[in-house]
C-alpha cells in the first residue's frame, strides 16, 4: 500500500477559495454527515494524471483509502496550488468523525481555520475578533485552552505555505522583495551611469542642436526614447528567461513540494509598470545633465568640460557598491548559516535511522487495536538483520508537528504554567535515536493503560521548572490529564525546527497516550539497505495499511530543503549584484581613462611611468569601492537584526561575512580596473597630443 497525502476539509472549502473542479464537482453540503456513504474524495490534477492517465471518465470510480472505499467526484484544475503548506495534499475528503474521531473532543488541536473577509472588513478587525474569541474560550475552558487569547493570529492564506510564524512569513517575503528590488536598483544605477557617460560624450553635439533651434524638451524626449528602447530590449530578453527559469526545479526539491513559480499574463502589467519606472529612473538624470549645460561653453570646450564633472558618476558607483555590499552580506550570512546547519548537533543521530509512518484507519484500529498493531510491527522488525533498536512514537523529529499543552506544577492549577511540547514514545525510543538518558530510567512494557502515569522530561524543562533539583520523583500535569511521575531525564534535542531555541518537552508512554503511529529503527547497516526489508516485514502484519518508509535523514529533510532553496535564491541574487557592480565599475573607469587620454599622454610625455599610471587608475577604482564598502557595511549593520530569525548558529553581525563581502568587492574593484589601467599605461603620448 502507498502512503499519500490527504486533507480533510469542510464541504465549503473549495467554495471559500473560489475553486471549481476541472472534471466533475467539489463537495456538497450533504456530504458532511458522518454517516454518509459512500464517502467522497476530490483528487488533484497531478494525481489524476499520474494514477489515471488523465482519464475524464474517472468520475464515479472508487479509491481505497485506509481500508475504506471512497468515490471520486471531482478533479481539481491544473493551476490549483494548495494553500495549506509546502507539502501539498493529493486528495481531499470531507471532514467528519469518520475521518477524525477526535473531532468533537475539545483537546484535539488538529484543525486550522480559513475564512474570507467580509466586504469592507480589515485584517485588524478580524484579528480583534479572533483574539476575543480565544480569550473567551480560555476563560470557559482554562485547562485545555490556557493561552489561546495570546497566540491566536490572523494572516493571509499564502502564509500557510511558509513553515514558520506569520511574522516570519511577512519578514521573509519583505526581505525577498527587498533583495530583488536592490538588484533592480543596482541595475538601474548601472545603466544610468553608462547613459550619463554616453550623454557626456555627446554634450557638444547636444549643445549644437540646441543652438540651432532644437528645443530642450525635444532633446530630452529623444534621450528618453533611447532609454526606453534599451529597457525594452532588456525586458524582451528578461521575460522569456524568467519563464525558462520558472520551469527549472529548485536545487534539492523533493517530492510534492508545491513551490512552482508561474510566469503568466498576470505578470505583464507589473512588467510594463517596471519598464516605465525603470525608463524614468535611468533616463531622467542623464537627460537633465546633458541639456542643462551652457551652450556656448560646451561648444567652446568641445565637450571636454565633462571630464571635470565626474563626481556624479562616482557617486552612482559608490551607491551601487554599497547596495551590492548589502546583498552580498545577506547572501553570505545565509550561506554561513547553511554550512552550520550541515554540521549542527541536532541532539539525535540522523544518519543511522529509518522511519516508517503509518496511516491507520481509526475505525479499524481504535486505541487497543492500534497498540496491538504497533507491538506486532516492533516484534517483526526487531528480528531483521542489521536492526539495533526499534521503538514507536507519535512524532518525526523536525517534522513541525509538536503539540503544546498547558502545564502546571502537579496539583496547582491556580499557578500560571507554561506550554511545553508533549509527545508519546515507546520503550527504547531514546536508544533508537541515540538521545542520551541522563537520569532515571526509560519506559518499559509495564507502562500501559491503567497503570500509574509516568513521564520523562528533557533538560530545558528540568532547568525551567525544577532548577537545581533531582527531577526523578517529581510530578507533572498537562491540561486536564492525570498527574504523571517523572521517571527520567534526557538530553535536549531539536524537535520542530533546526533553528529553534531549546524548548521544554514532556515525553509520555505511547501505551498510555497513543497517537499517530511512527516506527523508529536504528540500524548498524546503511539505512537504505533496510528499507525494502522493513516493507516486507510490515506487510506481513497488515498489507492494507498505507505506510511510508524512508531514512531518518530523508524524513527530516523538509526544513533543510527549504533552507537550501532559500540560500540558493539569495546567493544567486548576491552573485547578480556582484556582477552588476563589476560592470558598473568597469564602465566608469573605462570612461575616465577614455576622457582623460590627453592628460595621460601629457603626463607620460613629462616622464610618468606606465606603472604609475596603472596604479593611479586602480587607486581611483579602489577608493570608490572603499567608500561603497563603508557605506554599505554600515547600512548592513543597521539592518542585520532583521535577519536574526533566519540565521542558525551565525550572528547577524558575523565578522567573517562582512570581511568576506569587503574582500569580494576589493577583488571586483581590481578586476574592473585592470583593463582600463593597462589601456591607460599604453597611451602613445605623441598620438594623444596630436588628437588634443
Q: Quick one: pLDDT at residue 303?
A: 47
Q: Quick one: pLDDT at residue 488?
A: 96
Max Cα–Cα distance, the chain, nearest Å? 105
- Cα torsion for 624, 625, 626, 629, to the nearest 10°? 130
Q: Which residue has the higher pLDDT, 646 or 266?
A: 646
E-assigned strands of 54-187?
A: 62-65, 68-75, 91-94
**What are the start-end ranges of the H helices in 247-301?**
268-291, 295-301
359 with 535: CB under 8 angstroms?
no
For 469-492, what is each residue's pLDDT tens digit?
999 999 988 766 788 999 999 999
pLDDT averaged over every residue in the chain: 79
Neighbours of 257 (CB within 10 A): 19
Q: Which residue has the higher pLDDT, 585 or 632?
A: 632
In 3-state terms the chain splits into helix, strand, coil percentages (rounded to 5) of: 50, 15, 35
Which of 480, 444, 449, 447 has the alpha carbon at shortest distance from 367?
A: 449
What distance lies between CA 375 and its chain's CA centroid? 39
Exposure string of 134-164, with b = 16+ CB inside 10 Å and e = fewer, is beebbeeeebbbbbbbeebebbeeebbbbbb
Q: Which residue has the higher pLDDT, 96 or 657?
A: 657
For 222-247, the DSSP string reads HHHHHHHHHHHHHHHHHHHHHHHHHT
The 3-state DSSP class for residue 444 equals: coil
For 495, list phi and psi in degrees, rounded to 5. -105, -55
Query: Is residue 339 scored above 90 in pLDDT?
Result: no
Q: Quick one: pLDDT at residue 25?
A: 92
Q: Quick one: pLDDT at residue 437?
A: 95
For 262, list phi and psi in degrees, rounded to 5. -95, 130
Q: 127-141, 187-201, 218-232, 485-499 — which one is most confidently predicted on average? A: 485-499
Cβ-proximal residues to 680 (8 Å cutoff; 6+ apart), any chain: 593, 600, 613, 614, 617
Q: How far apart are CA 92 and CA 44, in angstroms?
A: 8
Share of the chain above pLDDT 70, in %: 77
The 3-state DSSP class for residue 616 equals: helix
**What are the start-end ranges of the H helices in 20-87?**
45-52
For 383-421, what is each residue's pLDDT tens digit?
999 999 999 998 888 876 655 555 655 554 444 456 788
What distance lies between CA 541 and its chain's CA centroid? 40
Task: Calculate mean pLDDT across residues 101-127.
Answer: 72
Query: Is residue 218 scored above 80 in pLDDT?
Result: no
Query: Is residue 165 scored above 80 in pLDDT?
Result: no
Q: Which residue has the higher pLDDT, 88 or 366?
A: 366
86 with 161: CB under 8 angstroms?
yes
For 289-309, what is each residue's pLDDT tens digit?
666 555 445 445 544 444 445
Q: Quick one: pLDDT at residue 84?
A: 59
Binning pLDDT at 50, 70 and 90, where does residue 193 land? confident
Fill in the DSSP letter of residue 74. Answer: E
Report residue 494 as a C-alpha cell.
Answer: 531539536
For 605-619, what is each residue's pLDDT tens digit?
777 787 888 888 888
Which helix (H) or strand (E) segment holds residue 477: the answer is strand 475-478
For 245-283, what is each residue's pLDDT tens digit?
766 655 444 333 344 556 666 677 777 787 777 777 777
**Where do we find the cell 554634450?**
203
Amino acid at each position: 500500500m502507498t502512503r499519500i497525502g490527504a486533507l480533510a476539509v469542510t464541504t465549503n472549502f473549495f467554495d471559500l477559495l473560489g475553486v471549481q473542479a476541472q472534471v466533475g464537482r467539489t463537495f456538497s453540503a450533504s456530504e458532511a454527515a458522518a454517516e454518509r456513504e459512500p464517502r467522497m474524495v476530490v483528487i488533484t490534477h497531478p494525481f489524476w494524471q499520474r494514477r489515471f492517465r488523465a482519464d475524464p471518465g474517472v468520475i464515479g470510480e472508487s479509491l481505497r483509502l485506509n481500508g475504506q472505499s471512497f468515490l471520486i467526484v471531482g478533479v481539481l484544475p491544473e493551476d490549483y496550488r494548495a494553500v495549506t503548506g509546502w507539502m501539498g495534499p493529493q486528495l481531499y475528503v470531507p471532514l467528519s468523525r469518520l475521518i477524525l474521531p477526535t473531532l468533537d473532543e475539545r483537546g484535539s488541536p488538529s484543525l486550522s481555520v480559513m475564512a474570507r473577509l467580509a466586504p469592507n472588513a480589515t485584517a485588524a478587525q478580524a484579528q480583534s475578533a479572533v483574539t476575543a474569541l480565544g480569550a473567551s474560550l480560555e476563560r470557559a475552558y482554562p485547562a485545555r485552552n490556557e493561552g489561546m487569547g495570546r497566540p491566536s493570529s490572523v494572516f493571509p492564506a499564502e502564509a500557510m505555505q511558509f513553515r514558520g510564524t506569520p511574522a516570519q512569513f511577512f519578514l521573509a517575503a519583505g526581505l525577498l522583495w527587498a533583495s530583488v528590488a536592490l538588484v533592480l536598483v543596482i541595475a538601474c544605477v548601472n545603466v544610468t551611469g553608462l547613459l550619463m557617460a554616453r550623454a557626456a560624450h555627446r554634450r557638444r553635439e547636444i549643445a549644437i542642436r540646441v543652438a540651432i533651434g532644437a528645443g530642450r524638451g525635444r532633446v530630452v524626449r529623444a534621450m528618453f526614447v533611447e532609454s526606453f528602447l534599451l529597457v525594452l530590449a532588456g525586458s524582451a530578453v528578461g521575460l522569456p528567461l524568467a519563464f525558462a527559469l520558472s520551469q527549472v526545479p529548485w536545487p534539492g526539491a523533493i517530492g510534492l513540494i508545491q513551490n512552482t513559480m508561474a510566469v503568466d499574463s498576470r505578470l505583464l502589467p507589473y512588467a510594463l509598470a517596471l519598464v516605465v519606472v525603470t525608463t524614468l529612473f535611468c533616463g531622467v538624470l542623464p537627460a537633465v545633465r546633458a541639456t542643462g549645460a551652457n551652450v556656448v561653453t560646451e561648444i567652446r570646450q568641445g565637450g571636454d568640460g565633462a571630464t571635470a564633472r565626474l563626481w556624479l558618476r562616482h557617486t552612482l558607483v559608490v551607491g551601487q557598491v554599497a547596495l551590492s555590499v548589502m546583498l552580498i552580506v545577506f547572501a553570505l550570512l545565509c550561506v554561513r548559516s547553511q554550512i552550520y546547519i550541515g554540521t549542527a548537533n541536532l541532539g539525535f543521530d540522523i544518519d543511522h535511522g529509518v522511519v516508517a509512518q503509518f496511516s491507520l484507519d481509526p475505525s479499524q484500529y481504535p486505541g487497543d487495536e492500534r497498540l496491538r498493531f504497533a507491538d506486532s510491527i516492533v516484534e517483526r522488525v526487531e528480528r531483521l538483520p542489521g536492526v539495533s533498536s526499534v521503538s514507536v512514537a507519535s512524532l518525526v523529529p523536525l517534522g513541525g508537528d509538536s503539540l503544546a499543552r498547558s502545564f502546571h506544577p502537579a496539583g496547582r492549577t491556580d499557578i500560571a504554567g507554561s506550554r511545553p511540547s508533549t509527545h508519546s514514545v515507546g520503550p527504547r525510543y531514546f536508544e533508537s535515536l541515540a538521545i542520551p538518558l541522563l537520569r532515571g530510567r526509560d519506559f518499559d512494557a509495564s507502562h500501559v493503560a491503567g497503570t500509574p502515569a509516568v513521564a520523562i522530561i528533557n533538560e530545558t524543562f528540568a532547568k525551567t521548572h525544577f532548577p537545581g533539583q533531582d527531577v526523578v520523583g517529581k510530578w507533572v500535569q498537562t491540561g486536564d490529564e492525570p498527574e504523571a511521575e517523572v521517571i527520567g531525564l534526557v538530553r535536549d534535542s531539536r524537535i520542530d525546527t533546526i533553528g529553534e531555541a531549546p524548548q521544554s518537552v514532556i515525553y509520555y508512554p505511547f501505551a498510555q497516550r497513543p497517537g499517530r503511529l511512527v516506527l523508529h529503527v536504528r540500524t548498524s547497516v546503511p539505512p537504505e539497505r533496510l528499507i525494502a526489508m522493513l516493507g516486507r516485514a510490515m506487510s506481513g502484519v497488515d498489507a492494507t495499511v498505507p505506510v511510508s518508509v524512508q531514512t531518518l535523514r530523508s524524513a527530516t529533510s523538509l526544513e533543510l530543503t527549504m533552507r537550501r532553496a532559500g540560500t540558493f535564491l539569495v546567493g544567486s541574487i548576491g552573485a547578480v549584484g556582484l556582477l552588476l557592480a563589476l560592470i558598473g565599475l568597469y564602465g566608469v573607469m573605462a570612461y575616465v581613462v577614455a576622457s582623460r587620454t590627453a592628460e595621460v599622454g601629457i603626463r607620460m610625455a613629462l616622464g610618468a611611468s606606465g606603472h604609475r599610471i596603472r596604479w593611479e587608475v586602480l587607486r581611483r577604482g579602489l577608493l570608490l569601492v572603499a567608500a561603497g564598502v563603508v557605506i554599505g557595511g554600515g547600512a548592513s549593520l543597521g539592518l542585520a537584526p532583521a535577519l536574526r530569525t533566519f540565521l542558525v548558529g551565525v550572528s547577524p553581525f558575523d565578522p567573517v561575512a562582512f570581511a568576506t563581502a569587503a574582500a569580494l568587492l576589493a577583488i571586483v574593484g581590481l578586476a574592473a580596473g585592470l583593463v582600463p589601467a593597462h589601456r591607460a599605461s599604453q597611451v602613445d603620448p605623441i598620438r594623444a597630443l596630436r588628437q588634443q
